[in-house]
Amino acid sequence: MSTMTWLAVALAVVLILAIGFVVLRQRRQRLRQRFGPEYERLINDRDNRGEAEQELRAREKRVATLDITPLTPESRQTYAEQWTNLQERFVDAPGPAVTEADKLVTAAMAERGYPTEDFEQQLLDLSVAHGRTLHHYRQAHEISGRAAPGEASTEDLRQAMVHYRVLFEDLLDNGDEHHRQPAEARHELPALQDDSQQR
């Protein structure tokens, strides 16, 4: 081969590698943006970044097969009212209120079309559209598990309600920032009151 041919081949290889690098970087950035903190959590849990990213893409493919739908405005209003009532009951019965919060979040998930039989699968499915709030759900679920046998303090239970509320609001907003209504058009949930100041 002539020198010009070698140069052309070398240039083509460098160009292909550069395009591959750019494509990989764009895919990685897209996953990072979509999954938020869940991306970093999974990367830290796995030995291999490529395997972690492949798992995230598999989650996207699975969720694409589910019939995830937005809540109707009427349904969103009903859930918001149920949450308000639940917050009021928290003051007198924090443990049962946290249990009810878990059920309310699960009901909203089910109505949106998420399978709700297995908590671990819920986490995987929710991570695709709700990755930025998923750590709140993990925290709330862990505290809720301690609440049943009476191993959670009132402050723990209050924190669980706050954590549940973050995912709950995300579910009511349908988890899609591009399709969220402006704040003035949404039915805003009232703030969770700090019961420690009321006692």
pLDDT, tens only, 77-106: 999 999 999 999 999 999 999 999 999 999
**Do 148 and 176 reside in the same domain of the chain?**
yes
Mean pLDDT check: name the lowest of 22-26, 172-176, 187-191: 187-191
Q: At what angle do helices 154-172 and 119-130 cross, to 10 degrees?
A: 50
**Do 93 and 45 reside in the same domain of the chain?**
no
H or E stretch covering 106: helix 94-112
Listed residue (20, 42, 21) closest to 31, CA to CA: 42
Is residue 174's pLDDT more than 80? no
**Do 107 and 142 reside in the same domain of the chain?**
yes
- Does any domain span residue 67? no
Is residue 62's pLDDT more than 70? yes
Number of domains in the chain: 2
- Does any domain span residue 68? no
- Does any domain span residue 143? yes
Instruction: Say if pTM beats, i.e. exceeds, 0.75.
Output: no
Residue 177: which pLDDT band, with cuts at 50, 70 and 90? very low
Domain that holds residue 42: 3-61
Which residues are within 8 A (CB) of 196 and not within 5 positions of it... i.e. 6 or more apart?
A: 154, 155, 158
